[in-house]
Amino acid sequence: MPHAPERTEPRAAERLSRNLALASVVALIALCLAWELWLAPTGRGTLALKVLPLLPAPLGLWRYRMYTYRWVALAIWLYVLEGLVRATSEPGMGQALALGEVVLSVIAFTACTAQIRLRLAAARDA
């Protein structure tokens, strides 16, 4: 019976990319909720539902789940696109919030892809 590979402690670079991904996704959730519910709501706040796909992400990122890093790295581009569209169409505070959404999304993508690359390289070396 084949045995599972031995689990090792994450290296410093893996911890850093995990912490960046986790912080940026949590900050993105908070920004989107604050934006749609208090700071510059559009309509009756129903756009706050856009955070629903991100809600399970922090737990998976915290637990180093490779699957979570992969789907977040793909899904985060929806938030980049929404932020870019709203940054060019909303005046004032809405524009600043949209740019914040873009920045947080790009940070999350970069951290997730770094985590994936580091983990695949470590698996290849093992």
User: What are the boundaries of each domain within the chain?
Assistant: 13-39+54-125
Q: Please list the alpha-helical segments (H only) found in the chain.
A: 12-34, 57-62, 66-89, 93-125
pTM of the predicted protein model: 0.90
Give the dihedral sign, CA 38/41/44/47. negative
pLDDT score recorded for residue 1: 54
CB of 109 closer than 8 Å to CB of 69: no
Q: Is the pLDDT assigned to residue 110 strictly greater than 90?
A: yes
Which pair of tokens denotes residue 109?
Answer: 């993508």
pLDDT score recorded for residue 36: 92
Radius of gyration of the chain (CA): 17
Average pLDDT for 27-31? 98
DSSP state letter for 121: H
Q: In whole angstroms, what separates CA 78 from the centre of its chain?
A: 11
CB of 20 closer than 8 Å to CB of 62: no
